[in-house]
A and B are shown apart, each in its own frame.
Chain A
Amino acid sequence: MILKPQTLDIRIILHFLGKIILGFGMMMVLPVAVSVMFGETVPVVDFAIGLIASISTGVLCILVARLDKHPEMNWMHGMVVVSLGWLVCMVLGAIPLYLSGHWKTFLDACFESMSALATTGLSLVQDLDHLSHGANFWRHLMMFLGGQGIVVVALSFLVKGGAGAFRMYVGEGRDEKILPNVAETAKFIWLVSLVYFVVGTLLLALCGHLSAGLSLREAVFHGACIFMAAFDTGGFSPQSQSIIYYQDGLFEFGTIIVMVWGAINFNLHYAIWNGKRKELWKDIEVRTFVITLGLVTLLAAAALAKGHVYGTIIGLVRRGLYQIISAHTTTGFSTIYSPQFILEWKSLALLAIIVAMGMGASICSTTGGIKMLRIGLIAKAFREDVKRFLMSDSSVVSTKFHHLKDMFLDDKLVRSAALMTIAYVLVYLFGTAAACFAGYPLLESLFESTSAAGNVGLSCGITQVGMPVFLKVVYIIQMWAGRLEFVSVLVLGGFIVSCIRGK
């Protein structure tokens, strides 16, 4: 029998949902400051409307669901708060975008907002090159907030750490704590991100000013936006031509540095910052990343070189390798135009980039996709199974792996990694089927679907304003579910069913 949720359940969910919305809404002050700095008046009004809508929604939720004492938040509450929170933030974040007039419909603005929060980078904006600095900054800031996690934002400022906070933190697709207290973990994630924000923005601004020829003010603005998109492995850029706009090898190199920073597990940042630098070489995630990157690069480079797509080695690196690293770190920056994937790249190179997008990078980082820890564990389990056949029946094999500390590879870990991998593959196939149903060819459909669900953002041209409405909704769901790693989304589905059919 399915039990109907009690009033207290709804109140707990609404209360914490209100806090998340409040934390998210307050961030709209930052694009207002950017608009004022650049002397833009109309965007200030757009953001004021968005700010008022967010703050009033948050306060209303908290007031309606006022809690006399602090009841314990269970797993169901945590998961529902997170999945609902992301949807509500998508709608609220879309308000100032839609008001700017650069998105054709409110659904398109919601698509952009979810793409930013989920650090995907697929875009339905029109005439991006004339978008106000404030709105452009907001797209990138949402990416930055989504990359750290909007629950992490709330945990850092508005919610006390505890078991309930940890349940929300897990619901956001992260199950590794860096410090014993989850609120301290959230604060550390912010510390890392803000330190890298300063270093990365300076690095990119210098490249932009000295090498790519941007004015100092524009170089700082572009540096900050590109940093937020690169470190959070999102892939938005302030100009419609993505990284092609800069036409500069040094700037491209700078973005690769930041993308790789973003692809590293926050736990590893913590270890390295505490002097344990050997952890970087020992960790199974990093080793798997280096191996898989080598393999997909080899496939793509062989296909591109054999087809003489790029005439020089520099061309192969700046056009081929860049796309592969961008795909594998699930960033989505590109140095070629979308149609070039289909028109110029060979099928094998496309397959390599799809595999890279599907695999993603580290757990507890800002990347999407299946993640390297899971791929590494499954590969290790395969190797052990083959080894068992070669050994005598009486021998006992115990396998260790290193992920922050030495651990034993047990069946439970492998099962959980395999289940999550299957879930991702099914979601990739679901999006592929949807695009095929809309009439797009198979390979292009697979490319775009993997890009959406793996939170990558590279496009082969399907994502356009004129694409079917149902496909936009499918991609929004894929981006949302892929970022939250499915569990909290499925719990929300179960919660809705129990509200309707429960007794």
Chain B
Amino acid sequence: MSLIIKDLSARVKDGAQILNGINLEIPKGEVHAIMGPNGSGKSTLSKVLCGHPDYEVISGTAELDGQDLFAMSVDERSRAGLFLAFQYPVEVPGVTNANFMRAALQARLPKGEELDAVSFYKTMRAKMAALGMDTKFTARAVNEGFSGGEKKRNDILQMMMLEPSYAILDETDSGLDVDALRIVSDGVNAMRAPFRSFLVITHYKRLLDYIKPDVVHVLYKGRIVRTAGYEIVEHIEQNGFDFLKAEE
């Protein structure tokens, strides 16, 4: 059981090609990290996998536990177990966090089955407490007026509520102070399990110090150019990405 990406090329709709033949396999239970300089295609990869309408797949395939990911709509991918923690979580005025999560969880139930509201709120409050979030956030509009850190925590809360099989964290560390980073990382680590994988996209070692990856990939100009262990994180932290240019 894995997320398998084969020879994936994609571009901005009617625009530049960003991904140039990505091959990646993330087996269940593993944490993979993707690092790479600005503009290398990290966020594009995450958005293409989730079906963002601004991007289009040119060629290649992606399979989620044997299912053709690109044949599914955005919401079907989520219900099939894929989750994206956004680099910039979106503000949704007028829709409360509670209603948002209820709708998302309700959509996962078989037809005719109703979500148990009492246990829903109980679970949500418990997970909010674990992330150091004020329970007042349940009644607030999704991310509206939230600080950068609060938005990131809210995304992680959603991940904890939806319990996906494959979670992509797109620069979840950006905009987080040290304490928030630790809390968010603790949340992610608590979810590590043999039946769940993570793809952690980041620029910095500090996140990977908290969420220790099993495998690290380096993305450059839309291709995976290195796959290594944690040691490459140290190397990048000290030397930057210049070694990639030297190899060109």
Asked whether A and B interact, the reply is: no
Chain B interface residues (CB < 8 Å from chain A): none
Chain A interface residues (CB < 8 Å from chain B): none
